[in-house]
A = this chain, B = another copy of it.
Amino acid sequence: MEELLHLGRQVLESQPFSVLIGTRVAGISEREVVLELPVREELFQQYGFVHGGVISYLADNALTFAGGTVLGLRVLTQEYKIDYLRPARGKKLVARASVVHAGRRRAVCRCDVFAASTDGDETFCATAQGTIVSVASKEEPR
């Protein structure tokens, strides 16, 4: 568990884009991961809400991490679908992803993204479902 958390943080720190955005691993266990992202103005769209692309990025990353807890480190998101539910604003985004089904090389995962206010209230903002695949074999780089 501690090890998974350490590993997850290492992966995130090795992604320049995740460093640019400011994502953090808040929790990770087998089949589940929680990513957090402090909200700041740079991440907004034109109406003062977090840009959908930021939410998609976070969901995508959380899906990959969740899949990675069962398929190993060399995984990537093959595809996903995301539904935006409500505008996101507040103090931070929280993405909770889990494995719905895992085979040997494929995991179907889900991710719910919430916007947390300063006092901890959460608003459900988006939900995603996608396919994570192992690329350990290098057969298909993407």
Give chain A's interface residues, CB within 8 Å of chain B.
11, 14-18, 20-21, 41-46, 50-54, 56-58, 60-61, 64, 76-87, 100-101, 103-106, 108, 124, 127, 129, 131, 139-142
**Inter-chain contact A78/B87, CB cutoff 8 Å:** no
**Inter-chain contact A61/B57, CB cutoff 8 Å:** no
CA distance A80 to B130 in the complex (A): 11
A78 and B131 in contact, given A103-B140, A105-B140 (Cβ under 8 angstroms): yes
CA distance A41 to B18 in the complex (A): 12
Interface of A is mostly: mixed
Q: Nearest chain B CB to A54's CB is how many angstroms away?
A: 6
Q: Nearest chain B CB to A35's CB is how many angstroms away?
A: 11
Most chain B beta carbons < 10 A, residue from A14, A53, A76: A53
**Inter-chain contact B53/A87, CB cutoff 8 Å:** no
Name which residue of chain B comes closest to A19, CB basis. Answer: B42
CA distance A106 to B142 in the complex (A): 10
**Inter-chain contact B16/A106, CB cutoff 8 Å:** no
**Inter-chain contact B46/A53, CB cutoff 8 Å:** no
